[in-house]
Every structure is written in structure tokens, then in C-alpha cells.
Amino acid sequence: MSQLISIAVPVYNEEKNIPVFWHKLNEIILSKITAYQWEVIFINDGSRDKTIEELEKLSKIDARIRIIDFSRNFGKEVALTAGLNHCRGDACLMVDADLQHPLEKIPEFLEKWEAGFEVIVGVREKNKGEGLVKRIGSYFFYKIINSIAETKITSKATDFRLLDRIVIDEFNKLPEKNRMTRALIDWLGFRRAYVHFNANPRLHGKASYSLWKLFRLAFNSFISFSLFPLRLAGYLGIIITLLSGALGLFILITKYILGTMSFSGSVILAVIILFLIGIVLICLGLIALYIANIHTEVTNRPLYIIRKSKVRI
């Protein structure tokens, strides 16, 4: 039997894109590459337009289509997770429905998979029609997260990815709720290869990932992949305590011992308060370290991931 490839497509208000997407997918991939069996899983992420009707129409004419219909909008990260949870393929490819991910590149993903790579990541070279704010935002996001996070996250790496079954199985074991699919896959490791592509402009509709949603996602990833924000209070406290301590000492010596300079009462009071604030912040930092410990325990990620080769077991 030939191998089964799953394609997971999260859709949110994509009624206009779905027929075009399906037509193109069928034309240049499904009907062309017959060496594999295919299943296409659409995850309807609580769309408020006719997306589900379009999907049901398609699934009636093609048995390879499966639909997961969310009761409300849970976000793309969760939709992708559902796709990975439910796919049955020997590999699963994740694609956006707005044709921003060029379907022509799919054979390249499959070639690399056949060559033994387990995670094949689509890397976006150019993104036509993306605003300056988003581009600058993503630049800084990757700069910051890579300098503070324990896991390296490839910049420009997109969700356009193919995962081998062994990676999907490990991914499905990860228990955390607040998640960024891409970063979790990066955390898992495995043999990876990259496919470079130029993103097309969105076909119909507008990107539903608003800046605010992206900001929240970015902020969540800082928190779940790095303990640095937690330690920040402590660092700040150390700096303030040292500086105000030195200043206090300076005042003490010049005013009371040398008697060369005099300082008003409010200056002295300010320095004392600063010193105390520093100490409070240090204590916060200490508490943060304990919270950090609780955080890693609660996240409950496995300590290590073993590559179970199909041959070795």
C-alpha cells in the first residue's frame, strides 16, 4: 500500500478561498502525485461566514476530505494542533487556505521527507503585501526571543511544514494549553530540512491575525519559552539597590564624616526609599525564581524526546 499523506488546513472565514484552494490543490498535487494516498483535513475554526457550507459541499464530492468543525474560534495554533491530533497520515503537511503558501512547493517537501528528514520547514523569503509594522514586529520578535529563549526558533520559518509520523506522535503528547505550534515543533528537535519559498499575497479577504492577536501570541511565547521576563524584576532590584546603596554611602561620608557637602532631608529620604524599593524588587525576583520552577513543573513537557526509528523498534 502506498503511504498516506495528510494535509491539514486551518480555515477561518475563508468561504471565497476554499473553492479556489481546493481546485488548485487537486489540480497540481492530488491528481498529479499519485504515488501517495491523500487526505485533506480542514479545521473550521469557528468561521462566521459560509466556510462550513463550502467545506461540506466539497466533502460530498471528494471522499479524501475530512472536516473538523470547532464550536467557536480557538485560534490557528489550536486548529493546527487539532489537525495534527486527528491526521492519520504517515506524514502531515500544514498549509494556509489563503494560497499564501505556494502549493507548487509541496513536491519539494515530499522529496526531503523521502530523503529521511523528519521536520521540513517552509522558510519565507519574501512576503508580498505584508505591512511594514508586521515586518518590523516579526524582526524584533525573533531577535528578542532568540536572545532570551532556551529553544532556538528559526526566523522567517512559517507554519508551512511537513512532519513525519514520529514527530506528530511526540507532538501529540505535549500537554501544555497555551501554545505556539511552530515553537513547540522546534522544541521537539528531530532531523530538519528547509524549503525556501516566496509568499503570495492573500487571495481573498484579509489576514485575520490582527496586530493585537500577533502581539498576544508573541508575548505568550516569550513567557512559555523563556524565564527571562520573570527574572527581570530581580535584576532591576539588584541594579537599584547597588546604585542607591552607593549613593547613600556617598551621602553618609560627605555629609556626616567629611562634612564637605550637605544634602536636604528629601534627598536622603529619596535615596532610602530607592534602596528599599530595590530590596523589594530583589525579593520579587526571588519569588519569581520559585514561580519559574513551578512553571516548568506545571508545563510538564517531557524531559527528552527519543527518536523511534521505524526500523529500530
Residues that bind Mg ion (CB under 5 A): 98, 100, 202, 207
* Residue at 92: amino acid letter: C
- Contacts with ligand UDP by CB under 6 A: the residue count is 17
Nearer to ligand UDP, 132 or 258 (CB): 132
Print burial letters for 61-71: b (CB count within 10 Å at least 16), e (below 16).
eeebbbbbebe
Q: Does 98 bind ligand UDP (CB under 6 A)?
A: yes
Q: Is 45 in the site for ligand UDP (CB under 6 A)?
A: yes
Report whether 77 contacts 216 (CB < 8 A).
Answer: no
- Is position 151 an interface residue for ligand UDP (rule: CB under 6 A)? no
DSSP code at position 101: S
φ and ψ of 272, to 5 deg: -65, -45
Q: 208 touches which of ligand UDP, Mg ion, none (CB within 5 to 8 A by kind)?
A: ligand UDP
Task: Compute CA 190 distance to the chain's CA centroid, rounded to the nearest angstrom.
Answer: 17
Cα–Cα distance, 161 to 188 (Å, whole number) = 14
Considering the complex, state which of residue 78 and residue 305 has its C-beta at the smaller distance from ligand UDP. Answer: 78
5, 79, 91, 145: residue in contact with ligand UDP (rule CB under 6 A): 79
37 binds, among Mg ion, ligand UDP, none (CB under 5 to 8 A by kind): none
Site string for ligand UDP, 273-292 (x = CB under 6 A): --------------------
Report the candidate in 97, 150, 151, 156 with the shortest Cα–Cα distance to residue 121: 156
In DSSP terms, 121 is beta-bridged to 161, 194
Residue 124 or residue 165: which is nearer to ligand UDP going by CB? Answer: 124
Please provide the distance, in angstroms rounded to a whole number, between the alpha carbons at the two ends of the chain: 21
Residue 100 touching ligand UDP (CB under 6 A): yes
219 binds, among ligand UDP, Mg ion, none (CB under 5 to 8 A by kind): none
3-state secondary structure (DSSP) of residue 313: coil
Which residues bind to ligand UDP, rule: CB under 6 A? Answer: 10-12, 14, 45, 73, 75-76, 79, 96-98, 100, 202, 207-209
